[in-house]
Amino acid sequence: MDLRTPDAAGAPVVVFLHGGGWLRGSRKVFTPGIGVAQSFDRIVAAGFAVASCEYRLSGEARFPSQLDDVDAAIDWLREHGSEYGADASRLVLWGVSAGATLAALTGLRRDDVRGVVDWFGPADLVALAELDTGEPAEATREARWLGAPAAQLPDAARAASPALQAHAGAPAFHIAHGTADDLVPFAQSEVLAEALRAVGVDVEFHPVPGGGHFWQGVDDTGPLFDRALDFVARVTAT
């Protein structure tokens, strides 16, 4: 975990989870093409602590091991965050791509999360498995994470799908997804937003016209960060 904190003590905490298809990625990179100054530093400048966390990748461990890792990070922050000026009682999860799936699932299974920022995360692994990607079913990112294609592990595929785990009383969600995403279909976030709203969850849903995965094709990601940070401020307000 890399923990960055603002000068003022008692800052709300953003727990960041990187993308990479559960196959690769690092806590050091927010998203490809967006540097530290435009991401982690921007969050800290807005008055929030940000904890960027590693989790075991699918070459080492299968679902749901990654959720255990996220839980461990949150539990550590709740126990030790105040030593570094962070108030982990006011905590938001922020994930991109595969990390957004982990953020959403964690927010849906814990009662101490104020909100979830989900940027273009897979939300329904059952539906994803039905798409023709041109690769063998067992070679997809989702199958490597689950341990087998979704059709062979239907219970695990459903448990790993935030849209299929939506329930009343879940924390607020901020969802943003590019309409031209060719890696995670835009429809995945549409389904997640619909499922959450159907059970009364507070949802902000922001389609990004022409945006690709990791915001490729988006000239200025500043407004995307501003909207997400406004959401974090709102849900962590005391």
What number is the average pLDDT over the span 31-56?
97
**Percent of the chain whose predicted confidence (pLDDT) is above 70:** 100
Q: How far apart are CA 205 and CA 200, in angstroms?
A: 14
Q: What is the CATH number of the domain that holds 189?
A: 3.40.50.1820
Lookup: tokens for 38: 């435009």
Could you tell me the pTM of the whole model? 0.98
pLDDT category at 133 given cuts 50, 70, 90 is: confident
User: How many domains is the chain built from?
Assistant: 1
Q: How far apart are CA 17 and CA 121, in angstroms?
A: 11
pLDDT score of 132: 85
Domain that holds residue 166: 2-236
- Residue 222, pLDDT above cutoff 90: yes
Under 8 Å between Cβ of 15 and 51: yes
